[in-house]
Amino acid sequence: MSSNLIHRIPSLDGIRGLSILMVVFGHAFRSYFHLIDIANLGVRIFFIISAYLIVTILKNNIINGKFSLKKFYFKRIMRTFPAFYFYIFCIYILLSWLDIFDLSQFWRAPVYLENYHSRSLWESQQWFVGHSWSLAVEEQFYILVSFLFLIVNKNKITLKRANFIFLLLFFTSPLLRASFFLFDFYPDVMTGSIHRSFETVVDSIAIGGIMALTPFKIIQKNKIVNYFKNKTFIIFSLALGIQFLNSVFVREIFGLKVRFIYNLFGLSIINISLAIIIFNSISRYNSSIFKKALNTKILSYIGLLSYSIYLWQQVWLYEWNIPLALKFIGIIFSSLISYYLIERPSLNFRNKVLLKYKI
């Protein structure tokens, strides 16, 4: 399956649309979703999809003898940088105009290090760039995965061994998270950034890589995947139930032991559950009602705008004293400007350069 075909799968845009709605509603109605962090689940879905697409592209490039670090970085930069730095520039102007700009809360975002911003250092201004932690994770993933496939391309390791590395990451990340509760020698930048730092969320990315490198037929024949083929509601409810374990309500009753279980086993089950949902959604052998819903034009269009929506929902959903309806209008308006004036022209320019210079 070519990388272009993967990008055109309607259900993938639908999944992106569903994910960004989870993020937006999770942030907009924080008081209602304080028991189950659906925004975090939405971001995890983005991680799995991104890893699946990127690893599949790199795998296909190697198989077809077209692997190029230069092309990979150029495509990623033109995909992510323009809209992000446009947002960063606008936020800098806004915060300066409001006289609340704080460099200590801001500097990590433009250098993709917000995922290593300890909670003990957060101030209110952190909110405006706080969501860039997930973008930092993505950029760090691009660097590591590109060099992994550079090694594969030079025949130092096989694709099978590359898959083993993703499996290793999937199993070691929960161990690291859980160790934060057992040992006190970790620096604050690590313990204070849990669930944001690369090493504590890489298992979400790893399972996307595993999906991409495992033959389609093997996943399709898996008994668990088959069992939940048309049971999306059940498996998603399982993910929601486990996410509930990380709520303040549960921690106040059962203490930190439940967080230890959540970090050691719970998040792994969530990642597997979400991966099964994604796989079944993009499988051409699945014709469930859920998949049909993902293929609706409105959800696919929201998915198309998801990157710009993710960037701009943050500033609008700050605790401004304005009606929520106006905040939603602001998100839509800003996202459309970002997509049609920044994102799409950047992608068109990228495609022209790739075609002209045959990078």
Q: What are the tens digits of pLDDT across the range 267-296?
A: 999 999 999 999 988 877 666 788 888 889
Q: How is the chain split among helix, strand and coil, in percent rounded to 5?
A: 75, 0, 25
Domain coverage including residue 132: 41-297
pLDDT band at 298 (very low <50, low <70, confident <90, very high): very high
Residue 72 falls inside a structural domain: yes
Q: Say which residue, 224 or 173, is predicted with more confidence.
A: 173
Residue 348 falls inside a structural domain: no
Q: Are 18 and 299 in contact (CB under 8 A)?
A: yes
Residues 6+ apart with CB under 8 A from 59: 149, 159, 212, 213
Q: At what angle do helices 267-282 and 232-244 cross, to 10 degrees?
A: 160
User: Among residues 179, 128, 129, 205, which one has the least CA distance to residue 190?
Assistant: 179
Residue 314 falls inside a structural domain: no
Residue 339 falls inside a structural domain: no
pLDDT band at 9 (very low <50, low <70, confident <90, very high): low
Please give the C-alpha separations between residue 316 and each of 3, 75, 213, 331, 355, in angstroms, as whole numbers: 34, 29, 39, 6, 38
The tokens describing 220, both together, are: 């399709």
pLDDT for 229? 82
Residue range 322-350: mean pLDDT, rounded: 97
Number of domain units in the chain: 1
Residue 103 falls inside a structural domain: yes
Buried b (16+ CB within 10 A) or exposed e, 137-166: bbbbbbeebbebbbebbeeeeebeebbebb
Q: Are 300 and 13 in contact (CB under 8 A)?
A: yes
Q: Are 169 and 202 in contact (CB under 8 A)?
A: yes
**Torsions phi, psi for 183 (to 5 deg):** -125, 150
Residue range 317-338: mean pLDDT, rounded: 97
pLDDT for 2? 36
Residue 342 falls inside a structural domain: no
Report percent pLDDT > 90 for the chain.
80
Residue 315 falls inside a structural domain: no
- What is the helix (H) or strand (E) element at residue 290, kind and residue range? helix 289-294
Q: pLDDT tens digits, residue range 70-112? A: 999 999 999 999 999 999 999 999 999 999 999 999 999 999 9
Residue 115 falls inside a structural domain: yes
Cα-based angle 279, 285, 289 (whole degrees, multiple of 5): 80
